[in-house]
């Protein structure tokens, strides 16, 4: 689809969220109090979601677009030390780039990038045509490549991650301090997601983030470092038509950091890891970046949530406990579900891979759950 080639920038994503919220508020909300709440939510999401990203990305600007290679650093290595070798150099064709010969190569014939483009014309085209260009590549190909030979693959002056983080020191700090690592970084590959030269997508990404994330996460049998099975997102998204608004906005990075982080599941803000958790709003900072914690904080309300029996706030009742509060995952599937309100069909419970069914049924003024944590219980907002 053509339209998908446009990068979903945070501000664009917010617009998408905003639009989808208005649509939800206009079509699916059965009582007026919630429409007002939904629109208020829209305002919150709009102002808060991008702020959360900036706060947790921790990336400093690179100091320079030229690496300070000392004199001699680009000199040819002895053949025995080299892992990769440039064909024209191997051929002794020094005079393609130098004014002199192999004995006395002398100064270059012209500016470095122009030399490279003589043979790599596809790079000249790429560096001209693609909208997003990497500053150090525009300036000097030898920022990253030795034109002769190298101890690393693809003539790189350093191994890839070292190379990139020499300038991107913020990413280095992030990788060094991350307690939750991302398997996408294994094999030392920034280039799994970024084009080091130029790209059509913002942040030099090789594809839209959503497409990249879903591509790698679309197989069965992917596991986290603790051995827990990870979801096949292709299957999940295909089989569950009700997508959570930020997922519908194709904004996986609204909630996840791609490089590594300190929160469970690479989340940009904290969210409890277990089925039960003590309630503190800070433990749910992720959800409360976009939703108001007031829906869980007060025991009685007739406006703050639709999950209430008369004025009895059932979000408060289930979640707000000093020790074993149920976490949002007990009832909601945060990516995509079959039912409205991101209500899940079943939830993994315990360590043995058993799933607890919810059997949720929506009614005009409420809903019911059956044969789940408890036998049939219903709620009715109209109840006095």
Sites for ligand HEC among residues 274-303 (CB under 6 A): 284, 286-287, 289-291, 295-296
CB nearer ligand HEC, residue 3 or residue 235: 235
CA–CA separation, 28 and 44 (whole Å): 20
Which runs of consecutive H residues, i.e. helices, occur in 120-159?
Answer: 121-129, 135-139
CB nearer ligand HEC, residue 66 or residue 278: 66
CA–CA separation, 283 and 286 (whole Å): 8
Contacts to ligand HEC from residues 220-279, by CB under 6 A: 222, 224-225, 230-231, 233, 244-247, 251-256, 258-259, 265-267, 271
Q: Which of 86, 200, 240, 263 binds ligand HEC (CB under 6 A)?
A: 86
CB nearer ligand HEC, residue 2 or residue 117: 117
Note whether 178 binds ligand HEC by CB under 6 A: no
Nearest 10 degrees: CA dihedral of 92, 96, 102, 108? -150
**Judging by beta carbons within 10 Å of its beta carbon (0-12, 13-18, 19+), is residue 68 exposed, middle or buried?**
exposed
Note whether 200 binds ligand HEC by CB under 6 A: no
Bridge pairing between strands 361-363 and 354-357: unpaired
Contacts to ligand HEC from residues 37-76, by CB under 6 A: 38, 41, 45, 49, 53, 57, 59, 61-62, 64-67, 71-72, 74-76
- Helix 121-129 to helix 112-119 angle, to the nearest 10 degrees? 120
Note whether 341 binds ligand HEC by CB under 6 A: yes
Contact 11, 19 (CB under 8 A): no
Min dist. Cβ of residue 34 to ligand HEC (A): 6
Note whether 191 binds ligand HEC by CB under 6 A: yes
- What lies within 8 Å, CB to CB, of 172 at 6+ separation is 165
CB nearer ligand HEC, residue 240 or residue 258: 258
- Six token digits for residue 311: 């004025």
Nearest 10 degrees: CA dihedral of 347, 350, 351, 356? -30
Min dist. Cβ of residue 326 to ligand HEC (A): 4
CB nearer ligand HEC, residue 349 or residue 384: 349
CA–CA separation, 195 and 200 (whole Å): 10
- What lies within 8 Å, CB to CB, of 162 at 6+ separation is none
Q: Which of 56, 82, 163, 261 binds ligand HEC (CB under 6 A)?
A: 163
CA-to-CA dists, residue 176 to 86, 164, 170, 187, angstroms: 33, 14, 10, 16
Contacts to ligand HEC from residues 97-116, by CB under 6 A: 97-98, 102, 105, 108, 112-113, 115-116
Q: Which of 27, 32, 80, 92 binds ligand HEC (CB under 6 A)?
A: 92
CB nearer ligand HEC, residue 148 or residue 240: 148
Min dist. Cβ of residue 232 to ligand HEC (A): 8
Note whether 334 binds ligand HEC by CB under 6 A: yes
- Six token digits for residue 239: 């089989």
CB nearer ligand HEC, residue 3 or residue 319: 319
The three-class DSSP label of residue 156 is: strand
Note whether 181 binds ligand HEC by CB under 6 A: yes
CB nearer ligand HEC, residue 142 or residue 240: 142
Min dist. Cβ of residue 206 to ligand HEC (A): 9
- Six token digits for residue 43: 């305002």
- What lies within 8 Å, CB to CB, of 84 at 6+ separation is 149, 150, 152, 153, 154, 155
CA–CA separation, 205 and 300 (whole Å): 47
- Six token digits for residue 171: 């990413």
Note whether 22 binds ligand HEC by CB under 6 A: no
CB nearer ligand HEC, residue 240 or residue 307: 307
Q: Which of 149, 152, 305, 313 binds ligand HEC (CB under 6 A)?
A: 305
CB nearer ligand HEC, residue 130 or residue 217: 217
């Amino acid at each position: 689809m053509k339209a998908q080639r446009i990068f979903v920038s945070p501000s664009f994503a917010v617009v998408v969220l905003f639009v989808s919220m208005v649509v939800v508020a206009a079509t699916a909300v059965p009582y007026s109090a919630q429409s007002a709440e939904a629109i208020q939510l829209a305002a919150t999401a709009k102002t808060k979601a991008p702020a959360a990203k900036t706060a947790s990305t921790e990336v400093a600007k690179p100091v320079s677009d030229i690496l300070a290679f000392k004199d001699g650093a680009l000199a040819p290595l002895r053949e025995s030390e080299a892992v990769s070798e440039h064909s024209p150099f191997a051929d002794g064709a020094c005079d393609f780039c130098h004014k002199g010969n192999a004995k006395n190569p002398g100064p270059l014939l012209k500016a470095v990038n122009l030399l490279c483009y003589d043979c790599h014309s596809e790079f000249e085209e790429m560096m001209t045509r693609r909208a997003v260009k990497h500053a150090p590549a525009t300036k000097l190909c030898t920022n990253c490549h030795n034109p002769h030979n190298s101890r690393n693959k693809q003539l790189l002056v350093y191994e890839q991650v070292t190379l990139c983080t020499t300038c991107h020191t913020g990413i280095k700090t992030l990788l060094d301090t991350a307690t939750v690592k991302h398997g996408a970084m294994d094999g030392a590959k920034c280039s799994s997601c970024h084009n080091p030269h130029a790209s059509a997508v913002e942040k030099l990404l090789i594809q839209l983030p959503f497409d990249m994330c879903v591509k790698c996460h679309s197989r069965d049998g992917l596991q986290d470092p603790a051995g827990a099975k990870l979801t096949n997102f292709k299957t999940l998204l295909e089989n569950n038509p009700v997508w959570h608004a930020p997922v519908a906005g194709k904004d996986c990075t609204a909630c996840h950091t791609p490089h590594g982080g300190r929160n469970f599941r690479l989340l940009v803000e904290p969210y409890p890891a277990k089925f039960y958790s003590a309630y503190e709003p800070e433990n749910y900072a992720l959800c409360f970046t976009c939703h108001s914690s007031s829906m869980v904080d007060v025991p009685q309300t007739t406006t703050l949530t639709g999950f209430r029996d008369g004025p009895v706030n059932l979000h408060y009742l289930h979640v707000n406990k000093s020790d074993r509060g149920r976490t949002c995952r007990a009832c909601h599937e945060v990516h995509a579900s079959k039912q409205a309100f991101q209500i899940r069909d079943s939830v993994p419970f315990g360590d043995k891979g058993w799933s607890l069914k919810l059997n949720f049924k929506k009614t005009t003024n409420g809903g019911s759950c059956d044969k789940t944590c408890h036998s049939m219980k219903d709620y009715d907002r109209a109840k006095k």
